A and B are shown apart, each in its own frame.
Chain A
Amino acid sequence: MRRRMKQGLTLGGLAVLAALVCLPVIWVLAGSIKSSVELSDSLSPILLENGGRVRFTLWPLFPTLRHFMEVLLQSPSFFVVFWNSVRIAVLTLGGQLMVAVPAAWAFARFPSRGNGFLFTLYTVLMMMPFQVTMLSSYLVLDNLGLMGRQAAVILPAVFSTFPVFLIYRGFTEIPEGLVEAARIDGAGDWRIFFHIGLPLGSSGILSAAVLSFLEIWNLIEQPLAFLEDKALWPLSLYLPEVGLGQAGTAFAASVITLIPAVLVFVMGQDYLEKGIVAAAMKE
């Protein structure tokens, strides 16, 4: 009985914390279905600085989908920016996997003398924040004539070493005996890579993909530094430009931006958790 009560208390406390953590996102959802009148009324203290205080109820007085219609049907600029985001995400993710999967395979399956040093180099690079490599990225992008193009955001990200590290973890878990058996049966390096490595390492690859996607969908520093033309910006940088003055539109656009991230998150939660843990495990 006492044990039961204790468990109930624990659950209660944790649930309150969880609700608190989720509250900002719930507010965004609530804001997106409030009418313009209600929004401008409740936000007027910030917008007009009339001395009042903001009230922001969780449940709208008259729920409406109008802002979504406006964003989806009447604002071509939103579409441009949305597709910018999709393009950047797809190209970066695709490029990352094409580069990182074979590299991880090389680290995991072809041990050689240089491995230790190279791998340490990759780990150190993975830990460098963007600000440290900002100037060097700029120098090379400027030399290649890529500044101001989306390739300036995509290309450096493609060669990020973080996915290599995560996928490597997955590959090292493949039993050596399996690879040896395939080799004895006459399978070449490529066959082993495609028929044993890819399927058995898929969980590590998916972990890397989920973590990468969430990161790319939230890109701010890179486009801010390397893309001057706002028509090329991704959603993550463009959204804050829509101010509180058009709160309804801003909230609806935020919800639409959230949808792909939350979808990937919900479908990939297991892989996400695995990825987080794998990134942290010592060798």
Chain B
Amino acid sequence: MKFCAKFNCIWPSRRRFRRLLFLLPSLAGVFVFVLLPFADVARRSFTTAVNGRWNGWANYEMLAGNQAFLLAVKNTLRFTAVCLPILIGLGLLTAVLLSRLPRIQTLKACYLLPLAAPAATVVLVWRILFADSGLLNGLLAKFSLSPVRFMESEAAFWVLVASYVWKNLGYTVILWLAGILGIPESILEAARVDGASERQCFYRVILPNLKPTLYTITVLSFLNSFKVFREAYLVAGAYPHESMYLLQHLFNNWFTGLEFDKMAAAAVCTALVMGVGSIGLKRLWDRQGSW
């Protein structure tokens, strides 16, 4: 910041003007399409949907007592709590194994392929896999296990988890791999010279050095978890089994039903949680030291 203050003295207003010229299109768009309308949404969250009259905290109170909202929040939290550890753990394991092999370009490409495949193109496969008379139940029958109604029971939740992990594994592996390959070889060499075993190297050297990577991956995986709605919606529609009814479904259904008062309050709450969360985590990273 000191640096820029000095620069501002040399080129006072011209420089600032040029900067604004570069920034203006983006800034104007963000204001018109995001910030101003969101301020309007925040205002609406305190009014009634019908006549727009001031309503105080009533919408928020309604939200707190709304069964669908509570169910959606519970499911979204549960989904996150189950998915993140599975994805992050599996990603780490894969990345550690990958880092020991010489040529990994093709393998990486395989893991990343689901990221490139639009949800719509694999929906058919999902239906064939998870139908009551589908492939997975056929597999279960081969091992003489009883069939599962994947889309009509608690199992729907796990179908969602599986498709999330499938889609995001490559992303996570790439991030872990970057973290692992970023650890200076000299540290590992030094540990080996001191007589550390492979296992000790992993737990004492590699893992502690990956801590900043862990923060990053957690945040990004959490954000990507909202996109699981695509698969969920395409496979199970707007009203899936209640174990996989997420916040995304709720927003979508409120939008279709024009229930803007509840939607505004819920949008403000979600934005607050996500905003405070991401700024808080950024603070944490900044304290962690560099990559």
Contact = CB atoms under 8 A, between A and B. Distances in A.
Interface of A: 7, 10-11, 13-15, 17-19, 21-22, 24-25, 27-28, 31, 43, 45-46, 49, 51-56, 98-100, 102-103, 105-107, 110-113, 115-116, 118, 120, 122-125, 127-140, 155-156, 158-159, 161, 164, 189, 193, 214, 217-218, 220-221, 224-225, 235-240, 244, 247, 250-251, 254-255, 257-258, 261-262, 264-266, 269, 272-273, 276-277, 279-283
B100 to A, nearest CB: 6
Interface stretch (B57-65, B116-124, B152-160, B183-191): B116-124
A247 B111 CA distance: 26
B166 A21 contact: yes
Contact of A127 (B29, B30, B278): B278
B36 to A, nearest CB: 7
A129 B274 contact: yes
Interface of B: 1, 3-5, 7-8, 15-16, 18-23, 25-27, 29-30, 32-34, 36-38, 40-41, 94, 97-98, 100-101, 105, 107-129, 131, 133-135, 137-138, 141, 166, 169-171, 174-175, 178, 212-213, 216-217, 219-220, 223, 226-227, 229-230, 233-234, 247-248, 251-252, 255, 260, 263-264, 267, 270-271, 274-275, 278-279, 282, 285-286, 288, 290-291
Nearest to B170: A21
B109 A221 contact: no
Contact of B252 (A137, A225, A276): A225
Contacts of B101: 7, 10-11, 14
A156 B171 CA distance: 25
A244 B97 CA distance: 39
A24 B144 CA distance: 25
Chain A CB within 10 Å — which of B25, B141, B285 has the most? B25
A240 B248 CA distance: 19
**Which of B131, B220, B288 counts the most A-chain CB atoms under 10 A from its CB?**
B131
B182 to A, nearest CB: 9
Contacts of A221: 229-230, 248, 252
Contact of B16 (A112, A156, A262): A112
A221 B230 CA distance: 7
Given A46-B127, A239-B121, A273-B174, A127 B274 contact: yes
Nearest to B273: A132
Given A54-B128, A164-B26, 16 more contacts: A21-B114, A25-B122, A53-B133, A54-B133, A105-B22, A106-B19, A110-B15, A124-B274, A135-B263, A161-B30, A193-B22, A239-B118, A258-B117, A265-B115, A269-B112, A282-B286
Nearest to B137: A53
Nearest to A44: B133
Contact of A131 (B22, B100, B105, B226): B226
Contacts of A269: 105, 108-109, 112
B135 A54 contact: yes
Contact of A46 (B118, B131, B248, B274): B131
26 contacts: A17-B111, A21-B110, A21-B169, A24-B117, A24-B122, A25-B114, A25-B122, A28-B121, A43-B128, A53-B141, A54-B135, A56-B135, A103-B22, A103-B27, A110-B15, A111-B7, A112-B19, A133-B34, A140-B37, A218-B120, A220-B233, A221-B248, A235-B120, A254-B122, A261-B118, A265-B113
Nearest to B121: A254
Contacts of A135: 41, 255, 260, 263-264, 267
Nearest to B20: A106
B34 A25 contact: no
Contact of A280 (B21, B110, B175): B175
B226 to A, nearest CB: 4
A159 B35 CA distance: 11
B37 A102 contact: no
A106 B23 contact: yes
Contacts of A15: 107
Contacts of A54: 128, 131, 133-135, 138
A18 B170 CA distance: 10
B138 A55 contact: yes
Contacts of A250: 124
B190 to A, nearest CB: 21
Contacts of A264: 116
**4 nearest CB pairs, A to B:** A159-B29, A103-B26, A136-B37, A110-B19
A138 B38 CA distance: 10
Nearest to B4: A111
A239 B123 contact: yes
B1 A277 contact: no
A53 B128 CA distance: 10
Nearest to A98: B25
A247 B123 CA distance: 12
A261 B117 contact: yes
Given A106-B23, A265-B112, A277 B175 contact: yes
A282 B282 CA distance: 8
B251 A131 contact: yes
Contacts of A255: 121
Indicate the member of B19, B248, B274, B288 with the most A CB atoms within 10 Å. B19
